[in-house]
Amino acid sequence: MTQAPFHADVDEGPAGGRAVWLTASDGVRIRVGYWPCDGARGTVLLFPGRTEYIEKYGRAAADFAMRGYATLAVDWRGQGLADRVAGDPAVGHVGHFSDYQADAAAVVAAMPGLDLPAPWHLVGHSMGGAIGLRALMEGLPVASAAFTGPMWGIELPLALRPVAWALSAASARLGLGERLSPGTKAESYVLAETFEDNKLTTDTEMYNYMQRQTRAHPELGLGGPTMHWLYEALFETRRLSRLPAPDVPGLTFLGTDEEIVSADRIRARMDGWPGGRLEMLPGGRHEVMMEDPATRTRVFDMAVAHFDAHGPD
């Protein structure tokens, strides 16, 4: 574990944020960032979504710190400053979705050495929600879990689902696995899409925050997913949907205007999660931790109440 770059000029997180390099069991180097909190009652283990990077969650870390929790976030393989795993570093790619579990295991192994207090509580956003759910099923040592817009299914029109499966499955056989998925671009989403057309947030200032980070440090940005990533994601979310919920207290937030992940899969999962709770956020889009101030306050207050309820007696 050695020191890694940390862009404190753009994170807007609590003082003392830093980052380290970790090496997964297969030799891929990932980056972990963390923000300490004096007198913390525990640590949020934050699993980001596809395209994301540590600094994007600086403001979220500040919200958690204000409520008494330290935060750790990870650059998954293929994004942020972690090793890129495609020939073109601008595209989102993974060999197998299970590779992300090697990253998660490296993070868990490093946690004690980072002096971040237990208990740990998972927050999984989007793709990080799929990685986190799988990790919970495999024994991730957390006291509770919260999810925001988790990728437990990908939102696709009914007529396009068989096409997506067929094209993504055929891509590897045709040597096209690292080609961009149809309808996506090699440019970072927040730079390619105007605020008016974005599916992430209704809050202009939060969208500007994401844009400022990517413009200041373009090496953090990532474009659309490859055909092979799409196939792996479709296959993993289908497998997860067929497994029982883990024995961990679960809370999920879903915006009513979600257009990126499958709301139906989220509802089905939470309906079958004993003691689990689904909170709908009126007008919220995909990034509910980066929505308007009222929505953000509701999300962080409820998440921390959930953590507190499942912390030490």
Taking 60 as the threshold, does the pLDDT of residue 159 lie above it? no
pLDDT value at 47 more than 90: yes
- Check whether 160 has a pLDDT greater than 70: no
Q: Domain limits at 152?
A: 2-309
Report the pLDDT averaged over residues 16-24: 97
> What whole-number distance in Å separates Cα of residue 179 and Cα of residue 173?
13
Residue 162 has a pLDDT of: 65
Distance of alpha carbon 206 from alpha carbon 200, whole angstroms: 10
Task: Give the chain's domain count.
Answer: 1
Q: Which of 80, 234, 83 is nearest to 153 (CA)?
A: 234
Nearest-angstrom CA–CA distance, 125 and 147: 6
In this predicted structure, what is the pLDDT of residue 175?
A: 73
Kindly report whether the peptide bond that precedes residue 119 is cis, defined as omega within 30 degrees of 0: yes
pLDDT of 168 above 70: no
Res 163: pLDDT = 58
Q: Residue 164 — pLDDT band, cuts 50, 70, 90? A: low
CA distance 310 to 118: 12
pLDDT band at 43 (very low <50, low <70, confident <90, very high): very high
- Asked if 236 contacts 128 with a C-beta cutoff of 8 angstroms, the reply is no
Give the C-alpha separation, 78 to 206, whole Å.
24
CATH number at 121 reads 3.40.50.1820
Buried b (16+ CB within 10 A) or exposed e, 216-243: ebeebbbbbbbbbbbbbbbebbeebeee
For 6-40, b/e burial (b = at least 16 CB within 10 A) is bbeebbebbeebebbbbebeeebbbbbbbbbbeeb
The whole-number pLDDT of residue 147 equals 98
Instruction: Return the number of other C-beta atoms located less than 10 Å from residue 138's C-beta.
Output: 12
* The total number of residues written for the chain in this structure: 313
3-state secondary structure of 18: strand
Compute the distance between CA of residue 52 and CA of residue 33 in angstroms, rounded to an integer.
13
pLDDT above 70 coverage of the chain, percent: 94
Helix axes 127-137, 227-241, angle to 10 degrees: 50
What is the average per-residue pLDDT within 219-227? 94
Q: What is the pLDDT of residue 150?
A: 98
The pTM assigned to this predicted structure is 0.95
